[in-house]
Amino acid sequence: MKILGYSERGIINSLLFNIGGDKELMDEFIGLIKIPEIEKLKDSAKDYTVLLEQSFSRFGDADLVVIIHYEKPEDNKVLFIEGKVKTSNSSWNIQSQFKKYIEFKGDEKKIKPKNYWSNLFSQLYLKKLLIENWDKVKNIESFVVKSDYVGERKIGTNKVVLAALEIIRCDKKNAYFVGLIPTRQKEFDKFHNKVDFEMSFLLWETVHDFCRKKEKLKDVLEIFKYNDRQIY
């Protein structure tokens, strides 16, 4: 049986399901992101928990959340990974996406376009806001963040969302925010803008090359082919 998936979520799902319980392969995939604090501990990761397409209510959905477990729970790391692609009728550009994001950070009361919170940087900023503030409340169901920039953001009472929050709970210094982007390496090398929060990037080009080298991930290559160069 052949299973095909559409766009970034189709490939992310295929990638993670094909990696399955292969910890060494998961180690290698996470290593592609090149986060120094995680690379230092790459040989001591004990296990992984993966959340796919997880909702965080008014803080937005996450394409992929990876929790890296270590011997000491306080060392656990959480990666929020947001994927973007280049479709047949649009050209995703990291420079223009950053410009759209930062324009409204300088004037928080400025009215934002409807698609503003689907911007890569805006989406990951909301996850950062969630992590930074959750220890300030005793009752997570009453969790709310308000500002001119983000408006009012609540976590709500959905039991699955609340369960996910408990799974990812960590010290804010152990949370990382990753853009999985369609930018080619040559273009990415020209991106020197300073994002106003700590952020990492992984290129689809790099993921594709990784899959080509792994026999276990040959089905993921079929998803890249099926999407007919509409990923990067």
**116-160 pLDDT per residue, tens:** 999 999 999 999 999 998 776 657 767 889 998 999 999 989 999
Contacts 24+ apart (CB under 8 A), 184-188: 184/232, 187/94, 188/94
Average pLDDT over residues 16-24: 97
Q: Which ranges of 55-176 does DSSP label H, i.e. alpha helix? A: 94-103, 120-133, 159-168
SS (H, E, C) 30-95: HHCCCCHHHHCCCCCCCEEEEEEEEECHHHCEEEEEEEEECCCHHHCEEEEEEECCCCCCCCCCHH
Residue showing tokens 């692609």: 85
Residue the block writes with tokens 């925010």: 177
pTM: 0.95
